[in-house]
């Protein structure tokens, strides 16, 4: 260290405390970075890398950004998953002896952002802490620092459940112990872009004790304390807006793993990872940022409580029955700003006067909202309406204290209204009268000297002055004017009268600005006292916003109120896929029915590609989810059970991150469903087994269907191209065949998208290829080969096609050869072959179904091949 200058030594000491963060080191009007930070930041931010002399022989790499534009650069770094430590000057440079004191005033991380482009209005920004207990349980606590929300749960399950929960909440940062498993970190990183942070301390800080009063489990305390201690250590400021920690259990809500939520595209689409095209996009008719965040949380956690679902339905009924009041409510909700994040900024101390004006406008809407809700009538919404707190005293304070259009800065004056404070009014009066006097003095001096161009000016260095051009200097009265500054073409002077007025004006302006800032801080502190009430108000407004959103979407899309039953009966008439229906706009969507009960547990769905099998399966799941979040559903009639879990295997995609093939992903998702599903669950399997050879896939598909039928009993929709599986309807009493219909017209397939009873009679694969506009010659050749294969038992002379590659005649289960093979001469059977022939003779084929017979023949063939 001794080789560096004192300033660089100071930088290195601070940097040593934050080795995993970019250190923004304040030097005058810039934040500077040195050494590795400078090299990396110049690349990430695309700014110029320079160097400076730091006392050592080699020059030190350096880069910097202006302090006034630093927030934009910080957003970029944090958006890429980095941390930024803000190191400010904590000493007046005029009073400093030696190097100015500096210290880190805040650590900004992906999970602790309070403002900027890194925050999305209708999405939470959660930071989580993960604690591993001795009994292999996991304590998961998480908070949104920008809104103050706090939650905790204990996960007594495998680590995959922890991963799923962290992905569900969308946490961007996870705080763990220093010896946290690297394997666990890897599993988390494979599924989500996360920043990891370390916090060892799980002791309770007394100032946070009130937040934990509702927690009984000691493990909850340990999980939450780790998170709170990290926030306290890194943010170094008031966290008064943090709300009481709410504990929950995963089994209180419908369970869906990460893959199911992705396959169903609940909050983002599979392809673009964006909101458009998702269920959230379809439903989001909310008018406030707070309502948008609550809507996403409800979609992620459908209810299992019948009472909770019915209560939401009753609220939606009330909004549907009062169209004009609902539209009026929507108009006024537009004027409500994000109360949760405004409260967070007040507590954090970075709120400005414009933010408080937004708060004032929002509070002004509350009496109107309350009046509208009361006009809807008493009934189910009465309790919610009663909790709308207008905070009249706070609203009155904001109306009296702040001007309507304040500047962004709170330290340069011009934010407090006249009449709010007597001292401020006196200073302003002196300042305003002083300026009038200056204008009058200017006129008097012009008359006295005869110089029409004479003017009185001001700058921060020299204060007030009288400016006269050099050509007019001879007109000035000697002895009266004292020279203050010489310019190229003019001279600046001051008079005794001007000196006296200058002192009065500048003192009044300086005191006025200082007093305004003090008054603003007092207002801010008063607002801070209202934070709990503002947060409660925000929750009520959010809930009203989501409920009116459900009513608006249900009316606009012609949805129907679902009826629930405990008999595991599901009847959906004219069901639609809500998102596909919206995207199609004017095109007519073909609705479909779905009927399942205790005697009809499984539907085996066949039909050509592109006919709508996957869409049909998804719409059943989305209908269940919509119903269990309290919304109406896209159908003309819906009778539903309450599903405890939804499992899906839809779409083919390799898991490239963890190096797993399509088939392995299929098997893992199938295992997850089979292991955890109950008879109250819903399972959607789309073409299971297609990722391996035909017979392996077919055998696995049948085994899965049979296992679910015999041992689980869950409602299951299973689509397949293995038409051989349709014979299972005769063997499995609770399985039914259905198919998506299509017809052939003029050699082309027309998809009817209609679900009908019974199996499909044709695949139409080549027709689909034709729709994809493959070359006509290729399509023609495919038809010729198909005709040949379908007529294998006829003499070749009768086939009106060109020759095709020789097919080996080894047995019906053998795969087709791509190349001709030389014909073998007839020979005697070996002892091994004779044993296999005897085994074949002993098989009772008539007692087997076709698929079992095929599997037996396949095993015998493998024995022949050795």
Query: Which residues fall in the annotated binding site for ATP?
Result: 607-614
Beta bridge partners of 592: 575
Who contacts 198 (Cβ-Cβ below 8 Å, separation ≥6)?
175, 176, 177, 178
Reduced 3-state DSSP string for 262-326? HHHCCCCCCCCCCCCCCHHHHHCCCCCHHHHHHHHHHHHCCECCHHHHHHHHHHHHHHHCCHHHH
Q: For residue 384, how many other CB atoms are within 10 A of its CB?
A: 16
Reduced 3-state DSSP string for 623-661? HHHHHHCCCCECCCEEEECCCCEEEEECCCCCECCCCEC
Pairing of strands 126-132, 138-144: antiparallel
CA nearest 505: which of 455, 456, 463, 442?
463
Q: What are phi and psi of 220, to 5 degrees?
A: -60, -45
Helix, strand, or coil (residue 201): coil
Q: Tell me the two tokens of residue 91.
A: 């000493």
CB 194 within 8 A of CB 171: yes
CA nearest 721: which of 694, 749, 682?
694
CA atoms within 13 A on the CB side of 572: 27
Cα(576)–Cα(554) distance, integer angstroms = 13
- DSSP conformation class of 848: S
CB 498 within 8 A of CB 466: yes
The DSSP annotation for 140-182 comes to EEEEETTTTEEEEEEE-S-HHHHHHHHHHHT-SEEEE-TT--H
Helix, strand, or coil (residue 377): coil
CA nearest 204: which of 192, 189, 190, 221?
221
The DSSP annotation for 759-806 comes to --S---HHHHHHHTT--HHHHHHHHHHHHHHHTTTS-GGG--S-----
Cβ-in-10-Å burial (0-12, 13-18, 19+) of 849 comes to: middle
CA nearest 29: which of 57, 74, 69, 60?
69
Q: Quick one: which H or E segment has residue 483?
A: strand 482-486
Q: Which residues carry a binding-site annotation?
A: 607-614
CA nearest 157: which of 224, 248, 250, 226?
250
Pairing of strands 102-108, 570-575: unpaired
Helix, strand, or coil (residue 253): strand
Cα(184)–Cα(452) distance, integer angstroms = 82
Q: Tell me the two tokens of residue 829.
A: 């059977």
Q: Tell me the two tokens of residue 521.
A: 């801080």
Number of residues assigned to the chain: 866
CB 841 within 8 A of CB 856: no
Q: At what angle do helices 289-300 and 339-348 cross, to 10 degrees?
A: 110
Who contacts 28 (Cβ-Cβ below 8 Å, separation ≥6)?
none
Angle, alpha carbons 540-544-546 (nearest 5°):
115
CA nearest 715: which of 693, 683, 739, 747?
683
């Amino acid at each position: 260290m001794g080789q560096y200058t004192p300033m660089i030594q100071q930088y290195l000491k601070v940097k040593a405390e934050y080795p995993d963060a970019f250190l923004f080191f304040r030097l005058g009007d810039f934040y500077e970075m040195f050494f590795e930070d400078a090299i990396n930041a110049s690349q990430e931010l695309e700014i110029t890398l320079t160097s400076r002399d730091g006392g050592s022989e080699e020059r030190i790499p350096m880069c910097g950004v202006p302090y006034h534009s630093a927030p934009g650069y910080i957003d970029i770094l944090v958006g890429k998953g980095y941390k930024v430590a803000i190191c400010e000057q904590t000493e007046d440079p005029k009073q400093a002896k030696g190097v100015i004191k500096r210290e880190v005033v805040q650590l900004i991380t992906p999970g602790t952002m309070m403002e900027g482009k890194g925050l999305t209005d209708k999405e939470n920004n959660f930071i989580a802490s993960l604690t591993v207990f001795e009994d292999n349980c996991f304590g998961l606590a998480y908070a949104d620092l920008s809104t103050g929300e706090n939650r905790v749960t204990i996960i007594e399950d495998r680590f995959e459940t922890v991963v799923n929960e962290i992905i569900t909440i969308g946490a961007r940062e996870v705080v763990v112990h220093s010896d946290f498993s690297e394997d666990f970190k890897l599993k988390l990183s494979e599924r989500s872009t996360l920043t990891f942070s370390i916090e060892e301390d799980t002791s309770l800080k007394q100032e946070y004790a009130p937040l934990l009063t509702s927690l009984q489990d000691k493990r909850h305390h340990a999980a939450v304390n780790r998170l709170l201690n990290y926030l306290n250590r890194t943010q170094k400021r008031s966290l008064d807006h943090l709300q009481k920690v709410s504990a929950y259990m995963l089994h209180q809500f419908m369970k869906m793993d990460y893959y199911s939520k992705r396959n169903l595209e609940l909050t983002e689409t599979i392809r673009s990872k964006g909101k458009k095209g998702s269920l959230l996009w379809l439903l989001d008719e909310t008018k406030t940022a707070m309502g948008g965040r609550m809507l996403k949380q409800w979609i992620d956690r459908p209810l299992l409580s019948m009472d909770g679902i019915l209560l939401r339905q009753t609220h939606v009924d009330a909004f549907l029955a009062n169209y004009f009041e609902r539209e009026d409510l929507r108009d006024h909700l537009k004027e409500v700003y994000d109360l949760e994040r405004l409260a967070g900024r007040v507590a954090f101390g970075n709120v400005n006067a414009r933010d408080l004006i937004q708060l004032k406008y929002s509070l002004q809407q509350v009496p109107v909202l309350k009046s509208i809700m009361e006009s809807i009538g008493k009934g189910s919404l009465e309790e919610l309406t009663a909790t709308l707190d207008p905070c009249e005293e706070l609203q009155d304070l904001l109306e009296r204290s702040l001007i309507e259009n304040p500047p962004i800065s709170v330290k340069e004056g011009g934010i407090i209204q006249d009449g709010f404070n007597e001292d401020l009014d006196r200073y302003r009066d002196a300042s305003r009268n002083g300026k009038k006097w200056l204008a009058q003095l200017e006129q008097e001096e012009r008359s006295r000297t005869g110089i029409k161009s004479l003017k009185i000016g001001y700058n921060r260095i020299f204060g007030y002055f009288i400016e006269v051009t050099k050509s007019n200097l001879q007109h000035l009265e000697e002895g009266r004017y004292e020279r203050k500054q010489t310019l190229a073409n003019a001279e600046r002077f001051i008079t005794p009268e001007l000196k006296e007025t200058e002192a009065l004006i500048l003192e009044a302006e300086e005191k006025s600005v200082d007093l305004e800032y003090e008054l603003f801080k007092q207002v801010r502190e008063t607002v801070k006292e209202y934070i709990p009430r503002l947060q409660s108000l925000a929750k009520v407004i959010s809930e009203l916003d989501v409920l009116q959103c459900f009513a608006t979407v249900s009316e606009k899309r012609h949805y129907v109120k679902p009826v629930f039953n405990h008999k595991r009966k599901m009847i959906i008439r004219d069901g639609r896929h809500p998102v596909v229906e919206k995207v199609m706009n004017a095109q007519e969507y073909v609705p479909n029915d779905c009927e399942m009960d205790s005697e009809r547990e499984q539907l085996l769905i066949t039909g050509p590609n592109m006919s709508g099998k996957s869409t049909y399966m998804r719409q059943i799941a989305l209908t269940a989810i919509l119903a269990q979040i309290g919304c109406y559903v896209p159908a003309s009639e819906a009778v539903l059970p309450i599903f405890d879990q939804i499992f899906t295997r839809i779409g083919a995609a390799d898991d490239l991150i963890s190096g797993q093939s399509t088939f392995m992903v299929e098997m893992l998702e199938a295992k997850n469903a089979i292991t955890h599903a109950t008879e109250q669950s819903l399972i959607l399997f789309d073409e299971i087994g297609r990722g391996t050879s035909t017979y392996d896939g077919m055998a696995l598909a049948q085994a899965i269907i049979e296992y679910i039928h015999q041992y689980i009993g869950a409602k299951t929709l299973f689509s397949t191209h293995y038409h051989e599986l349709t014979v299972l309807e005769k063997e499995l009493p609770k399985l039914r065949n259905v198919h998506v219909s299509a017809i052939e017209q003029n050699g082309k397939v027309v998809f009817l998208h209609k679900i009908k009873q019974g199996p499909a009679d044709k695949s139409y694969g080549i027709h689909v290829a034709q729709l994809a506009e493959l070359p006509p010659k290729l399509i023609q050749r495919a038809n010729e080969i198909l005709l040949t294969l379908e007529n294998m038992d006829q003499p070749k002379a009768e086939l009106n096609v060109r020759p095709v590659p020789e097919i080996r005649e080894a047995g019906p289960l053998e795969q087709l050869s791509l190349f001709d093979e030389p014909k073998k001469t007839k020979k005697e059977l070996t002892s091994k072959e004779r044993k296999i022939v005897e085994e074949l003779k002993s098989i009772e084929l008539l007692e087997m179904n076709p698929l079992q017979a095929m599997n037996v023949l396949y095993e015998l063939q493998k024995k022949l091949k050795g």
